[in-house]
Amino acid sequence: MSRTYGAAMGDGRALLAQAGIATADRDALRLLAHAAGWDVGRLSIELGQAIPPDTDTQFQQLLAQRAAGRPVAKITGWRDFWAGRFRVTDDVLDPRPDTETLVEAALARPFLRVLDLGTGTGCIVLSLLAERPGATGVGCDISAAALDVARANAADHGLTARVTFVHSDWFSDIEGQFDLVVSNPPYIALAEMPDLAVEVRNHDPFGALSDGGDGLGAYRSIAAGIIRVLRPSGALIVEIGPSQAGAVVELFQQAGLTEIAVLPDLDGRDRVVCAKAP
Protein backbone atom coordinates (compact mmCIF):
# COMPACT_ATOMS: atom_id res chain seq x y z
CA MET A 1 0.00 0.00 0.00
CA SER A 2 1.28 3.47 -0.90
CA ARG A 3 2.35 5.80 1.87
CA THR A 4 0.82 9.26 2.15
CA TYR A 5 2.16 12.49 0.71
CA GLY A 6 2.69 13.67 4.26
CA ALA A 7 4.82 10.65 5.13
CA ALA A 8 6.82 11.05 1.94
CA MET A 9 7.46 14.70 2.70
CA GLY A 10 8.50 13.92 6.27
CA ASP A 11 11.02 11.35 5.07
CA GLY A 12 12.26 13.74 2.40
CA ARG A 13 12.72 16.52 4.92
CA ALA A 14 14.74 14.19 7.15
CA LEU A 15 16.92 13.04 4.26
CA LEU A 16 17.74 16.61 3.24
CA ALA A 17 18.40 17.70 6.80
CA GLN A 18 20.80 14.77 7.23
CA ALA A 19 22.58 15.94 4.05
CA GLY A 20 23.10 19.33 5.66
CA ILE A 21 20.52 21.25 3.60
CA ALA A 22 19.53 24.26 5.73
CA THR A 23 16.25 24.74 3.86
CA ALA A 24 15.18 21.08 4.12
CA ASP A 25 11.55 21.81 5.04
CA ARG A 26 10.93 24.24 2.19
CA ASP A 27 12.89 22.25 -0.36
CA ALA A 28 11.13 18.95 0.40
CA LEU A 29 7.77 20.70 0.00
CA ARG A 30 8.70 22.26 -3.34
CA LEU A 31 10.18 19.07 -4.72
CA LEU A 32 7.19 16.94 -3.71
CA ALA A 33 4.80 19.46 -5.26
CA HIS A 34 6.87 19.37 -8.45
CA ALA A 35 6.83 15.57 -8.55
CA ALA A 36 3.06 15.58 -8.08
CA GLY A 37 2.53 18.28 -10.72
CA TRP A 38 0.73 20.49 -8.20
CA ASP A 39 1.37 23.86 -6.64
CA VAL A 40 2.40 23.97 -3.00
CA GLY A 41 -1.07 25.10 -1.95
CA ARG A 42 -2.75 22.01 -3.32
CA LEU A 43 -0.12 19.72 -1.86
CA SER A 44 -0.75 21.14 1.60
CA ILE A 45 -4.37 19.92 1.50
CA GLU A 46 -3.52 16.52 -0.03
CA LEU A 47 -0.96 15.40 2.56
CA GLY A 48 -3.24 12.68 3.90
CA GLN A 49 -3.78 11.11 0.47
CA ALA A 50 -1.82 8.13 -0.83
CA ILE A 51 1.08 9.03 -3.08
CA PRO A 52 1.19 7.07 -6.37
CA PRO A 53 4.31 4.87 -6.65
CA ASP A 54 5.60 6.65 -9.77
CA THR A 55 5.27 10.03 -8.06
CA ASP A 56 7.08 8.68 -5.01
CA THR A 57 9.87 7.33 -7.21
CA GLN A 58 10.26 10.67 -8.97
CA PHE A 59 10.31 12.44 -5.60
CA GLN A 60 13.15 10.20 -4.42
CA GLN A 61 15.12 11.04 -7.56
CA LEU A 62 14.61 14.78 -6.99
CA LEU A 63 15.64 14.45 -3.35
CA ALA A 64 18.85 12.69 -4.36
CA GLN A 65 19.77 15.61 -6.61
CA ARG A 66 19.08 18.14 -3.87
CA ALA A 67 21.00 16.14 -1.27
CA ALA A 68 23.97 16.20 -3.64
CA GLY A 69 23.85 20.01 -3.64
CA ARG A 70 21.91 20.78 -6.80
CA PRO A 71 19.70 23.84 -6.20
CA VAL A 72 15.94 23.43 -6.32
CA ALA A 73 15.51 25.83 -9.26
CA LYS A 74 17.97 23.80 -11.35
CA ILE A 75 16.02 20.64 -10.47
CA THR A 76 12.52 21.96 -11.17
CA GLY A 77 13.63 24.18 -14.06
CA TRP A 78 12.09 27.42 -12.78
CA ARG A 79 12.42 30.18 -10.21
CA ASP A 80 9.86 32.71 -9.00
CA PHE A 81 11.31 36.23 -9.21
CA TRP A 82 9.58 39.57 -8.62
CA ALA A 83 6.06 38.98 -10.02
CA GLY A 84 6.84 36.20 -12.49
CA ARG A 85 8.15 32.68 -12.95
CA PHE A 86 11.27 32.18 -15.06
CA ARG A 87 12.89 29.20 -16.69
CA VAL A 88 16.27 28.31 -15.19
CA THR A 89 18.90 26.00 -16.69
CA ASP A 90 22.55 25.20 -16.07
CA ASP A 91 23.42 27.90 -18.62
CA VAL A 92 22.17 30.80 -16.48
CA LEU A 93 22.54 32.29 -13.02
CA ASP A 94 19.77 31.21 -10.65
CA PRO A 95 17.92 34.48 -9.83
CA ARG A 96 18.21 35.52 -6.19
CA PRO A 97 15.80 37.56 -4.05
CA ASP A 98 18.59 40.12 -3.46
CA THR A 99 18.32 41.14 -7.11
CA GLU A 100 14.75 42.29 -6.55
CA THR A 101 16.33 45.30 -4.80
CA LEU A 102 17.65 46.33 -8.22
CA VAL A 103 14.25 45.87 -9.86
CA GLU A 104 12.56 47.97 -7.19
CA ALA A 105 15.12 50.76 -7.62
CA ALA A 106 14.72 50.69 -11.40
CA LEU A 107 10.94 50.93 -11.22
CA ALA A 108 11.34 54.12 -9.18
CA ARG A 109 12.82 55.76 -12.31
CA PRO A 110 11.07 56.89 -15.48
CA PHE A 111 12.12 54.96 -18.59
CA LEU A 112 10.87 54.04 -22.03
CA ARG A 113 13.93 52.09 -23.22
CA VAL A 114 16.00 49.84 -20.98
CA LEU A 115 19.22 47.87 -21.50
CA ASP A 116 20.03 44.84 -19.35
CA LEU A 117 23.75 43.97 -19.44
CA GLY A 118 24.50 40.27 -18.83
CA THR A 119 20.82 39.41 -18.94
CA GLY A 120 21.04 35.66 -18.14
CA THR A 121 17.47 34.41 -17.70
CA GLY A 122 16.19 37.86 -18.71
CA CYS A 123 14.41 38.11 -15.36
CA ILE A 124 15.45 41.73 -14.73
CA VAL A 125 14.53 43.28 -18.07
CA LEU A 126 11.37 41.16 -18.38
CA SER A 127 10.22 42.07 -14.88
CA LEU A 128 10.74 45.75 -15.68
CA LEU A 129 8.88 45.56 -19.00
CA ALA A 130 5.99 43.67 -17.41
CA GLU A 131 5.52 46.62 -15.05
CA ARG A 132 5.86 49.26 -17.79
CA PRO A 133 3.58 48.38 -20.73
CA GLY A 134 4.83 51.29 -22.84
CA ALA A 135 8.52 50.46 -22.53
CA THR A 136 10.84 48.39 -24.72
CA GLY A 137 14.11 46.74 -23.85
CA VAL A 138 17.32 45.07 -24.93
CA GLY A 139 19.04 42.27 -23.05
CA CYS A 140 22.59 41.29 -23.93
CA ASP A 141 24.81 38.43 -22.87
CA ILE A 142 28.10 36.90 -23.98
CA SER A 143 26.51 33.44 -23.65
CA ALA A 144 24.40 32.33 -26.62
CA ALA A 145 22.90 29.56 -24.47
CA ALA A 146 21.78 32.09 -21.87
CA LEU A 147 20.15 34.18 -24.58
CA ASP A 148 18.12 31.15 -25.66
CA VAL A 149 16.79 30.86 -22.10
CA ALA A 150 15.99 34.59 -22.00
CA ARG A 151 14.09 34.39 -25.30
CA ALA A 152 12.04 31.45 -23.98
CA ASN A 153 11.21 33.44 -20.86
CA ALA A 154 10.18 36.44 -22.97
CA ALA A 155 7.82 34.19 -24.93
CA ASP A 156 6.40 32.72 -21.70
CA HIS A 157 5.64 36.24 -20.44
CA GLY A 158 4.21 37.53 -23.71
CA LEU A 159 6.99 40.10 -24.07
CA THR A 160 8.73 38.96 -27.26
CA ALA A 161 7.46 41.98 -29.21
CA ARG A 162 8.94 44.43 -26.71
CA VAL A 163 12.38 42.98 -26.03
CA THR A 164 15.39 42.16 -28.19
CA PHE A 165 18.21 39.90 -27.06
CA VAL A 166 21.68 40.55 -28.44
CA HIS A 167 24.87 38.50 -28.30
CA SER A 168 27.30 41.08 -26.99
CA ASP A 169 30.38 41.40 -24.78
CA TRP A 170 29.04 44.23 -22.65
CA PHE A 171 28.57 47.18 -25.04
CA SER A 172 30.41 45.72 -28.05
CA ASP A 173 27.27 45.10 -30.16
CA ILE A 174 24.86 47.54 -28.51
CA GLU A 175 23.46 50.34 -30.64
CA GLY A 176 21.51 53.43 -29.69
CA GLN A 177 20.87 55.02 -26.33
CA PHE A 178 18.72 54.14 -23.34
CA ASP A 179 16.89 55.89 -20.52
CA LEU A 180 17.92 53.11 -18.13
CA VAL A 181 20.78 50.61 -18.01
CA VAL A 182 20.68 47.79 -15.45
CA SER A 183 23.02 44.92 -14.67
CA ASN A 184 23.67 42.12 -12.22
CA PRO A 185 27.21 41.40 -13.42
CA PRO A 186 29.69 38.75 -12.22
CA TYR A 187 31.16 40.29 -9.07
CA ILE A 188 32.63 37.41 -7.05
CA ALA A 189 36.42 37.66 -6.82
CA LEU A 190 38.28 34.51 -7.88
CA ALA A 191 39.71 34.19 -4.37
CA GLU A 192 36.17 34.14 -2.95
CA MET A 193 34.86 31.35 -5.19
CA PRO A 194 35.84 28.46 -2.86
CA ASP A 195 33.78 30.05 -0.08
CA LEU A 196 30.52 30.00 -2.05
CA ALA A 197 27.78 27.51 -1.21
CA VAL A 198 28.10 24.31 -3.24
CA GLU A 199 24.78 24.89 -5.02
CA VAL A 200 26.14 28.20 -6.30
CA ARG A 201 29.75 27.28 -6.97
CA ASN A 202 29.02 24.00 -8.73
CA HIS A 203 25.76 24.79 -10.53
CA ASP A 204 25.81 28.44 -11.70
CA PRO A 205 28.01 29.27 -14.71
CA PHE A 206 31.44 30.47 -13.60
CA GLY A 207 31.27 33.43 -15.98
CA ALA A 208 28.01 34.60 -14.42
CA LEU A 209 29.59 34.57 -10.96
CA SER A 210 33.16 35.80 -11.36
CA ASP A 211 35.39 37.78 -13.70
CA GLY A 212 38.27 35.48 -12.77
CA GLY A 213 40.01 38.41 -11.04
CA ASP A 214 39.16 40.88 -8.32
CA GLY A 215 35.40 40.94 -8.99
CA LEU A 216 35.44 44.52 -10.34
CA GLY A 217 36.20 43.79 -13.98
CA ALA A 218 32.58 44.08 -15.10
CA TYR A 219 32.17 47.46 -13.39
CA ARG A 220 35.28 48.75 -15.13
CA SER A 221 33.82 47.69 -18.49
CA ILE A 222 30.46 49.24 -17.66
CA ALA A 223 32.05 52.50 -16.49
CA ALA A 224 34.17 52.70 -19.64
CA GLY A 225 31.22 52.47 -22.03
CA ILE A 226 28.22 53.79 -20.14
CA ILE A 227 28.23 57.42 -21.29
CA ARG A 228 27.85 56.33 -24.93
CA VAL A 229 24.65 54.40 -24.31
CA LEU A 230 22.93 56.49 -21.64
CA ARG A 231 20.75 59.37 -22.70
CA PRO A 232 21.31 62.66 -20.85
CA SER A 233 20.05 62.23 -17.27
CA GLY A 234 19.55 58.51 -17.90
CA ALA A 235 20.06 56.11 -15.01
CA LEU A 236 22.52 53.27 -14.43
CA ILE A 237 21.61 50.75 -11.72
CA VAL A 238 23.84 47.77 -10.89
CA GLU A 239 23.94 45.04 -8.29
CA ILE A 240 27.14 44.75 -6.26
CA GLY A 241 28.73 42.52 -3.67
CA PRO A 242 28.32 43.80 -0.09
CA SER A 243 31.96 44.99 0.16
CA GLN A 244 32.21 46.67 -3.25
CA ALA A 245 30.26 49.91 -2.83
CA GLY A 246 33.29 52.17 -2.38
CA ALA A 247 35.16 50.80 -5.37
CA VAL A 248 32.15 50.89 -7.69
CA VAL A 249 31.18 54.41 -6.62
CA GLU A 250 34.73 55.57 -7.40
CA LEU A 251 34.63 53.95 -10.85
CA PHE A 252 31.33 55.64 -11.65
CA GLN A 253 32.59 59.01 -10.41
CA GLN A 254 35.63 58.70 -12.66
CA ALA A 255 33.30 57.90 -15.59
CA GLY A 256 31.54 61.25 -15.08
CA LEU A 257 28.31 59.89 -13.61
CA THR A 258 26.44 61.96 -11.04
CA GLU A 259 23.92 61.53 -8.19
CA ILE A 260 25.54 58.25 -7.15
CA ALA A 261 23.79 56.40 -4.34
CA VAL A 262 24.16 53.03 -2.62
CA LEU A 263 21.02 51.09 -1.63
CA PRO A 264 20.78 48.20 0.87
CA ASP A 265 19.05 44.86 0.42
CA LEU A 266 16.49 43.48 2.89
CA ASP A 267 19.31 42.34 5.18
CA GLY A 268 20.81 45.82 5.30
CA ARG A 269 23.84 44.97 3.16
CA ASP A 270 25.04 47.26 0.37
CA ARG A 271 23.45 45.72 -2.73
CA VAL A 272 22.75 48.29 -5.46
CA VAL A 273 24.55 51.35 -6.83
CA CYS A 274 22.52 53.93 -8.75
CA ALA A 275 23.92 56.76 -10.85
CA LYS A 276 22.86 59.24 -13.53
CA ALA A 277 24.39 60.47 -16.75
CA PRO A 278 25.19 64.20 -16.83
Residue type, 273: V
Quote the pLDDT of residue 143: 97
Q: Is 85 exposed, middle or buried (0-12, 13-18, 19+ CB in 10 A)?
A: middle
d(CA 126, CA 89): 17
Q: Is 60 exceeded by the pLDDT of residue 271?
A: yes
d(CA 16, CA 66): 7
Containing 153, the helix (H) or strand (E) segment is helix 144-156
Q: Is 70 exceeded by the pLDDT of residue 1?
A: no
Quote the pLDDT of residue 62: 98
Domain spanning 76-276 has what CATH number? 3.40.50.150
d(CA 102, CA 182): 8
The residues pairing with 91 across neighbouring beta strands, listed in sequence order, are none
pLDDT tens string 92-105: 999 999 999 999 99
Q: For residue 267, give the DSSP letter.
A: T
In contact, 211 and 186? CB cutoff 8 Å? yes
pLDDT tens string 157-215: 999 999 999 999 999 999 999 999 999 999 999 999 999 988 899 999 999 999 999 99
d(CA 188, CA 196): 9
pLDDT tens string 109-165: 999 999 999 999 999 999 999 999 999 999 999 999 999 999 999 999 999 999 999
Global pTM reads 0.93
Tell me the Cα Rg of the chain. 20
In contact, 124 and 102? CB cutoff 8 Å? yes
pLDDT tens string 46-91: 999 999 999 999 999 999 999 999 999 999 999 999 999 999 999 9
pLDDT band at 2 (very low <50, low <70, confident <90, very high): confident
The residues pairing with 148 across neighbouring beta strands, listed in sequence order, are none
Secondary structure class of 87 (helix, strand, coil): strand
